[in-house]
Structures are given as structure tokens and as C-alpha cells.
Structure 1
Amino acid sequence: MPTLCSGGRLSTNGGDDEWAHTISRAQPMSEREYVSMNTKTALAHAEHRLNQIPATSEDDGLDFSNLYLFCPINVDEITTRWMNPYIPVLGQQVKQYPAGVSAFIFRTLKSYAGIAARGRGVLPFIHHTQMSVSGSPAGSPLTTCLSLIRICETPSPGSEATAMMMIQREMQNVMESSTGYDDLCLLGAFQAYLIYCLVLFFRLDPGTTAHLRPAMMSLQTLAHLSSKQGLICMTDQQRTRPRWEEWIVTEIKRRTLYVMYLFDSVLSAQEGVPTFLGTELSGLPAAASKLLWQAPTRSIWEREYNIHLAEWTEQGLTIDELWPMPEDMDEPSIAKRRRRVDHWLEDIDEFGTMLYAVTVCTHGG
């Protein structure tokens, strides 16, 4: 029968048919009953999801050791971002999201929580290689999260509090273990913690922020720890192709950061406090092209990256190029930026489209 290991992690110790019973029982369940009825279902769905992920070829041999990355930004400003509404900082720019944009962000992030809970599809800040054994080994924070979060798909009446307690316990365990994580495991912890926050806010305790503000502080701490290990490949400085593994890690980190910032703006709107432009992220690349992000094998990705280098003879588009035009920017520079954004738009995936929709409707283009 499945049980809870130390820290709230799930463990299965044998075959038990309790999981097959309907989850929609009228009376509240104990934690042990709740886990027993959901664990095998969650693992079955996780296995089904893995079978739908494009597999890398046998000779791809993912190796995430010895990554040559660097961090071009002041990551300390990420971990202190929660203080911005209360302690004014020189140069802060308030973001005034139109009501329609706020609703769009809210519903988009809510869909991410649904994807995670239902186990259908892959979140746009999780790379398909992370679903392989070598990309995200069993027992990693992300693997644990994607299994545990399945208990939130159709919780029985009265069991939401139990599910919330289990998730919060695992969140605490992630934070307590974070100091011992290597870079790859720390990245998985950052992603997992973000997913837990999304599910808590959008599915288990909709619209409540009281318990999420402390969680956001922890999330920003994980973002800081992961980001300072590197957000850009060293080879980007020479305009040469990095290792696939290096690119995967940096692209995941940036996408997860951008989602975290959007979620922070949702919480700020719920609490009636201002949200600020993430100027500390200036210079980071915007979301990569669909062909690069979804490349199923190393050889295909290398081919697409060679094309990317040939097309982008200068630096690729950065996230701040989607923000308001600087007041002192002249017309030729404005025209050049718009051409670069147009070029970027030709190849982006749904995640990039979402980022563009939010920024252009907020700041104009």
C-alpha cells in the first residue's frame, strides 16, 4: 500500500486495489486513504504522458555535467522582488496591466495548473528531455511534483485540505533540501515549487493569497539560487553553438523565470499592490523558437541552431526588447527593434506568443 516517506514524498510498497475505487466519496478521507486511492492512478497517468513525449535517439546520451554557463544579471534583485511594493527602489517602473491583459494572464496560468493536475501535455517551461530518465531522474523534485500533483485533478469533496497539506509539506521539504541540490536538481526544485504554487492558487484554494506570499518568497529564493548558476551559455558570447544540454538548461530557467514573474503580477493584482517591470531581467534572451524548443533529437537541434546563428547575425532578441520603447530612442533604432521583433515572431511557439501578447497589449509595439 502506498505510504508517505519522510518529507511527505510518495512511496509504493505493493499492489493494492484501493486506488481503483472512485475518488468522489462524499465523506472526507484521511491522508493515508487519500494517498492510497490516488498514487497508482497518478503514476499510470505519468507513464502515459511519458509515452507521448518525443523520444531522443539512443545516441543522444544526455549529459548535464560540466555545463559552461554564466549569469549576466544581478540575481539578488530576484530574491528581494517581493519587497518592491513596500520599499521603493530608484528606477522602479510600475506595470499597469489593462484589465483584459490581467484576465489573459490569469486564465493562462490557470491553464498551466490544469495541465499539471490532469497530467495531459507538457508545460511550456518543462523541456521534453526532462521527462526522460537521464533528464529528470526518479526522485528528483520535478518528478515527485508531477506525480504528487495528480491528486488535485478531481479531489473528493472535503479532501482539498488534505491535498493542500500534502503539497505544502512537500514544498517545505524542497526548501529544506535545496542547499544540497546540484544545479540540475535545483532547477527541478524551482520548477516544482512554481507548479505547486500555481496548483494551490488556482485549484485547491482559488484566489487566496495569504499562504502564498510566504511561498512566493521561497520561490524567489529558489529562482535566485538556480539563476546564479547561469542563465546564458558561455558560447553565446562568441556566437557559436553551445552543447544541447547547456542550451536546454538555460532556456528552461528563463522560461520558468518569466512564468514566475507573471504569477507574481497575478498575486499582486489580487492583493491590490503594484507590480513592477522586471528590469533586473534586462538582456536575457526572449523565448526561443518553436523548432529549437521542440527539437526531438540532438542532431535536429544542432541543425536548427546553425540556422538560427546564420539568421541572427547579431544577438538574438532579448526580453526587454518587448518592453516600452525608451524615450530617447530615435526612429531608426525603433524601426530596427520592430524588425527584430517581427523576425522573432516568425518562429516562436505558443509560449512566445503569450509573452508577446502580454507585452504588446501592455506596452504597445
Structure 2
Amino acid sequence: MTGFAPSEEPHGVFLQGTINLDNSVPSPEVPGNSLVGPTPVSALTPSSDGLNTCGANATLGTLEYWSQRYISASCRQLIISLTRTFPRMMVKPESLPPFVHRIGCGLKYNDHEPWQLVGGTAPSRFAPLRPLAACVNIAHTFVSRMPNSEDFLWQSIEAEQRRIRNADLSYRFAQVHPGPFNPPHIRATRPTWEEWIFDETRRRLAIVCFLMALVVGCEACDVIMNPYAIHLPGSKALWEARTADEWERVYDGWWAELKSGKPRLSTLGDLVMAKHSSDSSQAWMHGTFGSGIDDVLDDWHANLDGLGMMLVAVLAGL
């Protein structure tokens, strides 16, 4: 194997290539910096063409700017149908969207104990931090909305978007200041449960943004033109572990497989190239899975949750 994925630790295999979303076989291409992570969420925000304007008409169901360059109409409708359930999932702590972790909602990275229930045996309380609590309240309003509450709903959403943009701008100014750069999500050692939750949430958000970019048609986004670096979601068992002890047991098995050198899929590029390799003997690959490519895919499919299934469905329609 010739490279490592930029996550908390090296994975078993890392295939690099430019993904052409047109059913053609991807051609190998080594990126200039393999430690560059997925495009930030802000980079996927549509430009000033009316798509980023809050209002009852700015919905995916009525979007008029989408083109079929990347995905078919049926595939787009599938993504929309699944993402439209997220607000309803937000109002049910027992079934949160696949990028919101019930424990991670209450984590604070300020050298204090993140949450008393993290190390307990039955962390059943849902205690989101203030930004997510605002999202939950808005989700309640969205689910139970009435015709005369539309203005209030969209004003609330716009206020939260404005707050997020202001915070993002402040951090971008901080990034301009010269100094050492040590991304916390690039780890060479085994993470704690809290660290893994934080890292996995970032990876899952990048996947959701990629799917939404496909739907909206953000053709200038690097995340569409070169999506090979986007990390695949972790396994269902790891993501849904309810205690630190349960997570440790599952992660022990994952870590043992990692150290054994067993091939595994780490990025969207790995998945697409493995799929092409399984479907065609003419696929070009940087690195090789040997003759067990179907076994590698089967292992990954066996550990999928809802977000992973969305990726599989989308890639099947490309």
C-alpha cells in the first residue's frame, strides 16, 4: 500500500484518483497534498444566484437551477427524499440524523469533563449545546408549522445562518494569522471516544455536503470535481455505540484489523475505484486490493448505516 488517508490514523489502503462522475473509469492522479481534507462546509454554499436565499420558495423540491450533469433525476429525488426526513429526525433524540451524534451533542473541548454521562453505562439523556439546541427548536417549528408561521420559521433559519457565517468569518480571519498548524483530526495514535466522535462528525458532515452539492449542482465546487479525498463514514456499530466501553470493544476489533494490514476502504475515491474494479477488469488503480476486491466491498457494505447506504445508492446511479 502506498499511502494513508488523512483521518485519525492510517487506514489499510488508500487509493488516489480523480473521480469522473460520468460512468467512466477513473484515471490515477496523485494530489499535491495528501493531507488536505474535505472541502469546508462553507465552500459548498451556493453562490449569489438565489439558491442561498432563505424563504419558502428556496427549497430543494422546487429548485430550478439543477442540471443532470452529475446525477439522474431519480437519484436526485432519492437524496431529496432522504434529506427531507432530517428535520423530523432532529425532534426525536432516539433517531437523530446520521451526522448528529447523541453524545457528541454535549461535548465541550475546553479541558473540562465533556459530559458526566460519557463514561457511564447508560447515557440516555439528550443535552445538546446551545447551537444545536436552537436547531432542535427550529426543527420542532418546521415539523409542526402552520401557514401563518412560515415567516417566523424562515426568519429563525436565516438568523442561525447569519450567526454561522459570522462565526466562520471570524475563524477564517484567525487562519490568516501565521503560526503552527496542527489539524486535530489528523492523528497518528488511537483516539479517545470523544475525539473519535468529533472527527467522525466532521467526516459525516463532509459527506452530507457532497450529496447536497450533487443535488443543487454546485459545479464549481472542488468537492464535486475532485471528491476522492472525502472520507467514508465509520461503521454503524462504532457510530451507534452508546457507552465508552461498548465503543472500545468495537474499536478494538477495528484496530486489530487495521494493524493486520487487511485492505479497507477509506475514502470516496477508494469506494468508486473499488466499484469500477469489481465491475470492470480494465480499471486503473494506484495500489491494489488483489483478487479479493469483492470481499473488501462486502466487508464495507456489511457495516453501513443510513448515511453509507445513501452513498451506495448514489454511486450506483452514477
TM-score by length of 1: 0.54
The aligned counterpart of 1:301 is 247
Shift of 1:304: 0.7
Q: Distance in 2 between matches of 1:132 and 1:78?
A: 21
The CA RMSD over aligned residues, in Å, is: 4.0
Are the aligned partners of 1:290 and 1:349 in contact in 2 as well (CA < 8 Å)?
yes
The aligned counterpart of 1:360 is 316
The 3 A distance-change label for structure 1 pair 79 and 122 is closer
Amino acid aligned to 2:256: A
Are the aligned partners of 2:213 and 2:224 in contact in 1 as well (CA < 8 Å)?
no
The aligned counterpart of 2:198 is 249
The aligned counterpart of 2:164 is 174
1:321 is paired with a residue whose SS is: helix
Q: Distance in 1 between matches of 2:162 and 2:254?
A: 41
Q: Distance in 2 between matches of 1:157 and 1:338?
A: 51
The 3 A distance-change label for structure 1 pair 95 and 338 is farther
1:158 is paired with a residue whose SS is: helix
Question: Which stretch shows the higher mean deviation, 329-338 or 153-162?
Answer: 329-338
The 3 A distance-change label for structure 1 pair 169 and 81 is closer
The aligned counterpart of 1:345 is 301
Note the alpha carbon deviations across 1:79-120, whole angstroms, 9 max, x for none: 555689x9xxxxxxx963122211111111111233236777
Shift of 1:75: 5.6
Shift of 1:331: 11
Are the aligned partners of 1:75 and 1:280 in contact in 2 as well (CA < 8 Å)?
no
Shift of 1:254: 0.7
Greater fraction helix: 1
Q: Which has the higher contact order (CA 8 A, sep 6+)?
A: 2
Q: Distance in 2 between matches of 1:100 and 1:112?
A: 19
Amino acid aligned to 2:217: S
Once the two structures are superposed, the pairs formed by residues 62-77 of structure 1 within 5 Å of their partners are 72-73=35-36
Identity %: 22
1:323 is paired with a residue whose SS is: helix
The 3 A distance-change label for structure 1 pair 329 and 72 is closer
Are the aligned partners of 2:241 and 2:247 in contact in 1 as well (CA < 8 Å)?
yes
Aligned length: 237
State which of 80, 86, 93 in structure 2 corresponds to 1:106. Answer: 80
Matched, 1:287 2:224: no
Q: Distance in 2 between matches of 1:334 and 1:276?
A: 30
Shift of 1:321: 1.7
The aligned counterpart of 1:319 is 268
The aligned counterpart of 1:154 is 144
Q: Distance in 1 between matches of 2:300 and 2:307?
A: 13
Shift of 1:141: 1.5
Once the two structures are superposed, the pairs formed by residues 189-268 of structure 1 within 5 Å of their partners are 230=183, 232-235=185-188, 241-268=190-217
The 3 A distance-change label for structure 1 pair 263 and 113 is farther
Amino acid aligned to 2:302: E
The 3 A distance-change label for structure 1 pair 303 and 330 is closer
Q: Distance in 1 between matches of 2:268 and 2:155?
A: 37
1:292 is paired with a residue whose SS is: helix
Structure 1 gaps, min length 5: 1-67, 87-93, 182-220
Q: Distance in 1 between matches of 2:156 and 2:194?
A: 33
Amino acid aligned to 2:36: I
Are the aligned partners of 1:322 and 1:360 in contact in 2 as well (CA < 8 Å)?
no
Q: Distance in 2 between matches of 1:243 and 1:350?
A: 24
Structure 2 gaps, min length 5: 1-7, 11-33, 50-67, 108-113, 116-125, 278-282
The 3 A distance-change label for structure 1 pair 179 and 301 is same
Are the aligned partners of 1:77 and 1:280 in contact in 2 as well (CA < 8 Å)?
no
